[in-house]
Amino acid sequence: MHNILLSFGVIILCGLLFRRIRPAGLDADTLRHAINTSVFNLFFPALCVNIIYRTDINIETLLVPLTAWITLIVSLGLSWVLYALWGRRFRLEPSEKGVLILSSTFGNVAYLGLPVLTGIYGPEAAKYAIYYDLLATTPFLWLAGVAVASHYGKGEPFKISNSIKTIISLPPIWGIAVGMVLKTFNIQLPDFLLRVLELLGGLVVPLMIFSIGLALSLPETRHIVSILPAIGIKLFLVPLISFTVANLLGLEGKALASCLIEGAMPTMVLSLLVAAKFNLDVRLAALSILITTALSFATLPVAISLAGTLF
């Protein structure tokens, strides 16, 4: 467990050093955008097709995303109420409240969660990250998350039709759909094509971890006090909520453990893009990602150890 997290930490550090050194004059943000675009549009969809094609569709396919949906709804409501009170006391701007609510609610369940789960439980555990992320967290972000961002920000107005179009057009969602069609109709893919999917999907984990390092920077720290509730909710309450919901729904073994670990993930890197799109406090979003990611290397081993006692 510790070796897995340590290896991730080294790769993240490589990203941080790359951002600092800028070899060949490459800009870290430009490189990160290129990596994320490639992963999101090619490597991740290939991984989704490969995983779903090789995975039995069962009750976990429904219960894991249902766990995530309930966890997200509870977390969003809790953070909304808490920051309504906290915001009055510390005179937070609407753009700051919006960022902190998003930071409390949405975890890095794909970019960090998938590598952690596969590192601990093997490649077969990737399906739980895909279920938790693409069947719940990502749709919820583009429905409820952007509604919150639009409410507190000054960017584009929220339109549910636009959000639905965005969700439908996401390449990883199409990857899941293709995998399910192949699985449902028992369509046999040739060995060379399976190998292509395996090779493409194998690039997802190292590139996502490296991208986290590229994304982290040191913004202004004047809002550290305002981030404290977000840290408490994201790193401590959300995993407890996720585990409780999964347990009540009847999940067991690796599925239950995966829901606990996914709930313990730090703030989603994609929240930075949402903050920029709706003119929220981008520096505060970056600070939330930085602090929760750093702290998660202390809290994740605890969650993983607790998950290990479940089976």
Identify the pLDDT of residue 131.
Answer: 96
Identify the pLDDT of residue 310.
Answer: 83
* Model confidence band, residue 216 (pLDDT cutoffs 50, 70, 90): confident
149-193 pLDDT per residue, tens = 989 987 667 778 888 888 899 999 999 999 999 998 999 999 999
C-beta contacts of 58-63 below 8 A and 24+ residues apart: 60/127, 60/128, 60/131, 60/251, 60/255, 61/131, 61/135, 63/246, 63/249, 63/250, 63/251, 63/255
The CATH class for the domain spanning 2-7+35-211+222-308 reads mainly alpha
* Model confidence band, residue 287 (pLDDT cutoffs 50, 70, 90): confident
Q: Is the pLDDT score of 281 beyond 70?
A: yes
pLDDT mean across residues, the chain: 91
Identify the pLDDT of residue 219.
Answer: 63
3-state secondary structure of 267: strand
Identify the pLDDT of residue 155.
Answer: 63
d(C-alpha 112, C-alpha 102), whole Å: 17
3-state secondary structure of 107: strand
Contact 57, 179 (CB under 8 A): no
Mean pLDDT, rounded, for 118-143: 94
Mean pLDDT, rounded, for 217-228: 74
Identify the pLDDT of residue 2.
Answer: 66
19-78 pLDDT per residue, tens = 999 998 999 989 988 998 899 999 999 999 999 999 888 999 999 999 999 999 999 999
6-26 pLDDT per residue, tens = 888 899 899 999 999 999 899
Sequence spans of domains, the chain: 2-7+35-211+222-308
3-state secondary structure of 155: coil
Mean pLDDT, rounded, for 97-125: 93
CA 55 to mean position of chain CA atoms? 21
Q: Following DSSP, what letter does each residue of 204-249 receive, concatenated?
A: HHHHHHHHHHHH------TTHHHHHHHHHIIIIIHHHHHHHHHHHT
Identify the pLDDT of residue 225.
Answer: 82
Above pLDDT 70, what percent of the chain? 97
Contact 181, 187 (CB under 8 A): yes
Q: Is the pLDDT score of 303 beyond 80?
A: yes
d(C-alpha 14, C-alpha 38), whole Å: 19
Q: Is the pLDDT score of 1 beyond 60?
A: no
Identify the pLDDT of residue 59.
Answer: 95
71-99 pLDDT per residue, tens = 999 999 999 999 988 878 878 899 999 99
Identify the pLDDT of residue 181.
Answer: 94
Mean pLDDT, rounded, for 101-126: 93
